């Protein structure tokens, strides 16, 4: 009996192809189209930031030709994760304008061709091989790339039957096949996932490259290799280009995407370091970041290529919250006595749950704050898990939990380098337990700033002075509630949450002599400059 190679599975994969009902889109009222764009963009952003699972990756692609318009690619730890993503999309307003033309389900794997040693004694393999295997099992979708997807199988014909070959013969064929892939080092990255028992072919192949002709060339050259010419059988090919969710409206309007306009407002999944609004972002992994392959070609003891039973050699060269959050970037207000600020400096609330975003004074960063009535220790545990994902992104500055002194609420503060990153983070944070709106039930004007870091020796002096100011606040017209909240990880880091009936009432206080005197005194006891953020 012919020996079947051992396999180890990684993430499950869904390639979801959608066509747009362009007639329905053109005929829809502007309000419906706007809602579809907002909800579609929010859904796709949250998938890219993996709001729905502990780890994974997602990407959005345009598709050329009649077979589809859009491609959603998702990698997740379980099939149930992918099933949930499918159903969540159907809940968006965008879904009614789309029709699924096809899909493909598979799972990443490594096989015995990688290394007999890996399957017999995994702890004994070297670090480079381990990183290579991790990259195959938990692939990262490259940034700003063209994509080609196609399914394929190995032939079972009367003359040529791949599955009648010995393990050694298959290993030799795949090693030679892999040599072709190595010539495309730095040009092509491929993700190959097994669909045996899952879909119509045996593998799903996804090729990424910055130059689409490189994709054509590698497929063309490999067709002449015996592993393909004798034993390869292929399904339909799809070609497209990755673009950021922020460009969804531009895509539906017929513009060329990626537009490049998302670069300046990149989020954590759009981290603003080059990828048309995606940036060179980190990868979502529970328990640590799995780096990409180090590019080494690790042959097993049999002399087989590292790709296992996969159709192409890799080696060096082949290598929650789904609701849209409207709102702006907030604004700064000088915490040193300015008497007011313009309407342009005070932006609207984020949608849902009264979540706010704003820009601290004098810094090119943006903040999101929400409140929760959950037990502060339980809340911190939840936030710490989210923060582990946030920390993968270069745009993340800080996320912390502040405990109230005079209220039963805690505040979760998340600071980012871009407005859209803060806005997107709000979507994830809004799913924390027992989230409430602004202080009390009243509407009005909320200030979500007033961040202070005290010198440790003056911490109590600051708290005592705040208590005096709090007494003054309680007598002011339009004041609803103010609380000094303390960072649960650093008692010197404080956040004042203040609620007012109207903007004018708050500005009257911030322009008062009492406030100016407090700030002036505060300079002597603070470790750095205070930051103030205001939102309507």
Catalytic positions: 150
- What contacts 119, CB < 8 A, 6 or more positions away? 6, 8, 112
Residue 273 near residue 266 (C-beta atoms within 8 A): yes
Between vectors from CA 410 to CA 409 and to CA 411, what angle results, nearest 5°? 125
Instruction: At 303, give phi and psi (nearest 5°).
Output: 85, 5
Sign of the torsion formed by the C-alpha atoms of 168, 169, 170 and 172: positive
- Contact between 448 and 533 (Cβ < 8 Å): yes
Distance in angstroms (rounded) separating the CA atoms of residues 506 and 511 = 9
Q: Are strands 366-372 and 356-358 parallel, antiparallel or unpaired?
A: antiparallel
Burial class, 501, CB count within 10 angstroms (exposed 0-12 / middle 13-18 / buried 19+) = middle
* H or E, element range at 48: helix 30-48
Closest CA to 357 of 454, 452, 265: 265
Residue 97 near residue 22, CB atoms below 8 Å: no
Q: What is the CA radius of gyration of the chain?
A: 27
Is the bond preceding 467 in cis, omega lying within 30 degrees of 0?
no
Count, residues in the chain: 536
User: Cα 16 from chain centroid?
Assistant: 18
Which H or E element spans position 147? strand 146-154
Nearest-angstrom CA–CA distance, 286 and 53: 9
Give Cβ neighbours of residue 243 (< 8 Å, ≥ 6 apart). Answer: 60, 61, 62, 251, 257, 258, 259, 276
């Amino acid at each position: 009996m012919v020996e079947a190679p051992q396999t180890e599975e990684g993430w499950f994969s869904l390639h979801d192809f959608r066509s747009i009902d362009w007639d329905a889109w053109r005929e829809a009222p502007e309000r419906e189209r706007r809602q579809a764009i907002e909800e579609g963009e929010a859904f796709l952003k949250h998938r890219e930031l993996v709001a729905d699972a502990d780890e994974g990756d997602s990407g959005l692609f345009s598709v050329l030709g009649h077979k589809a318009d859009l491609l959603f690619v998702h990698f997740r730890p379980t099939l149930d994760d992918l099933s949930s993503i499918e159903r969540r999309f159907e809940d968006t307003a965008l879904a009614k304008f789309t029709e699924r033309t096809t899909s493909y389900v598979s799972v990443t794997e490594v096989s015995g061709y990688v290394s007999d040693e890996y399957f017999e004694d995994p702890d004994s393999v070297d670090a480079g091989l381990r990183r290579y295997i991790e990259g195959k099992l938990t692939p990262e979708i490259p940034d700003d790339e063209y994509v080609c997807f196609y399914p394929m199988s190995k032939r079972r014909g009367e003359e040529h039957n791949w599955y009648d070959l010995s393990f050694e013969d298959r290993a030799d064929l795949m090693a030679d096949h892999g040599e072709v892939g190595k010539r495309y080092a730095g040009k092509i990255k491929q993700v190959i996932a097994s669909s045996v028992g899952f879909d119509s072919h045996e593998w799903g192949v996804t090729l990424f490259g910055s130059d689409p002709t490189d994709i054509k060339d590698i497929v063309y050259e490999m067709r002449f290799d015996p592993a393909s010419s004798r034993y390869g059988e292929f399904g339909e090919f799809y070609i497209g280009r990755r673009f950021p969710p922020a460009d969804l409206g531009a895509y539906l309007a017929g513009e060329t995407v990626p537009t490049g306009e998302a670069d300046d407002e990149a989020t954590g999944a759009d981290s603003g370091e080059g990828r048309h609004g995606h940036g060179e972002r980190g990868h979502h992994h529970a328990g640590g970041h799995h780096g990409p392959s180090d590019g080494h070609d690790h042959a097993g003891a049999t002399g087989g290529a590292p790709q296992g039973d996969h159709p192409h050699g890799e080696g060096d060269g082949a290598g929650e919250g789904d609701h849209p959050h409207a709102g702006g970037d907030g604004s700064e207000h000088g915490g040193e006595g300015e008497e007011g600020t313009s309407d342009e400096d005070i932006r609207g609330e984020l949608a849902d749950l009264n979540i706010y975003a704003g820009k601290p004074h004098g810094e090119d960063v943006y903040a999101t704050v929400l409140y929760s009535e959950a037990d502060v220790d339980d809340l911190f545990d939840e936030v710490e898990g989210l923060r582990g994902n946030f920390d993968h992104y270069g745009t993340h500055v800080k996320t912390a939990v502040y405990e109230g002194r005079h209220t039963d609420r805690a505040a979760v503060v998340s600071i980012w380098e871009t407005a859209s990153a803060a806005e997107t983070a709000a979507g994830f944070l809004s799913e924390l337990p027992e989230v409430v709106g602004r202080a009390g039930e009243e509407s009005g004007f909320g200030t979500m700033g007033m961040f202070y870091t005290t010198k440790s020796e003056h911490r109590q002096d600051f708290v005592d002075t705040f208590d005096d100011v709090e007494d003054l606040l309680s007598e002011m017209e339009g004041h609803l509630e103010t609380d000094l909240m303390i960072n649960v990880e650093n008692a010197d880091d404080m956040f004042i949450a203040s609620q007012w009936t109207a903007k004018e009432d708050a500005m009257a206080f911030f322009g008062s002599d009492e406030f100016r005197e407090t700030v002036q005194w505060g300079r002597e006891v603070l470790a750095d400059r205070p930051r103030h953020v205001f939102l309507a």
